[in-house]
Amino acid sequence: MTPNFTLILVGGILFALTVLGYIWWRFGAGDTLSFVILSGGFTAIMDFISSFVARNYEYPGQSALWVFTFIFFGWIGMCGSCLFLAEGILARPGQDMITQHRLLWQVPLLTALIAVVLDLFIDPVAVAAGYWVWFIKGTVYFEIPLLNYVGWFVLMLLAPLAWIQVVQRRHWSYWRKVMVSLGALVPLCIASIVLSLMLNGAVALLGLQ
């Protein structure tokens, strides 16, 4: 099978725009842009670091611009679909994740778990098809390193957790939501690094990779 990078990029963008359209309809422009920043910007930055700085994996033959564009829209689509699926599972009739305090952390946690389960299917197929290559070989699951699944869990936990905190502030203006979301990028990146190091350290202590 020859990887079709154009098709996967276009498909990722269209799916992300569909998710954003739903968010715009349900929450409005400010919360939608906040979602773009937190679920796309934050996650793409961390994934970009994994690909080009830590050199954990690569998309063969693709430019840095292509990679950033793909992961930016890809994470938006993945985060949004898993987030609203988690809300649908956990919210009782007539309730939602914004007004129910118990869901403020339960929905992000389930979002992360759903995303990891989905990637258990996505990653082996994508690697076999040649869409990306891991430089670190795992020893547990199809030679895919467990740090990949730790990364998915951390990003898909922190991004929706931060976004829910913003969107539930219904009295905030458009620009305040945008500025707070931008300001959250640095602490989110730091938190993701710390949490990833802790979880990957626990995995290493078990002798797994």
> What are 11-62's pLDDT values in tens digits?
999 999 999 999 999 999 999 999 999 999 999 999 989 988 889 999 999 9
- For position 58, what pLDDT does the model report? 94
The whole-number average pLDDT for the span 129-149 is: 94
Reported as a pLDDT band with limits 50, 70 and 90, residue 133 is very high
- For position 54, what pLDDT does the model report? 86
Whether the CB-CB separation of 76 and 40 falls below 8 Å is answered with: yes
What distance in Å separates the CA atoms of residue 64 and residue 52, rounded to the nearest whole number? 8
Whether the CB-CB separation of 118 and 77 falls below 8 Å is answered with: no
Residue 5 one-letter amino acid? F
Whether the CB-CB separation of 8 and 70 falls below 8 Å is answered with: yes
> Does pLDDT of 166 surpass 90?
yes
Q: Long-range pairs for 168-172 at CB < 8 Å and ≥24 separation?
A: 168/98, 168/99, 168/104, 172/30
- For position 80, what pLDDT does the model report? 98
Q: Within the chain, where are the H helices?
A: 5-27, 29-35, 43-52, 64-90, 103-129, 146-167, 174-183, 185-205
- For position 1, what pLDDT does the model report? 65
The whole-number average pLDDT for the span 157-174 is: 95
Strands 133-134 and 57-58 turn out to be antiparallel
Phi-psi region of 134 (alpha: psi -120 to 50; beta: other; left: phi over 0): beta
What distance in Å separates the CA atoms of residue 43 and residue 39, rounded to the nearest whole number? 6
pTM over 0.85: yes
The whole-number average pLDDT for the span 151-172 is: 96
pLDDT digits 0-9 by tens, 93-104: 888 998 888 899
The whole-number average pLDDT for the span 174-181 is: 96
- For position 52, what pLDDT does the model report? 87
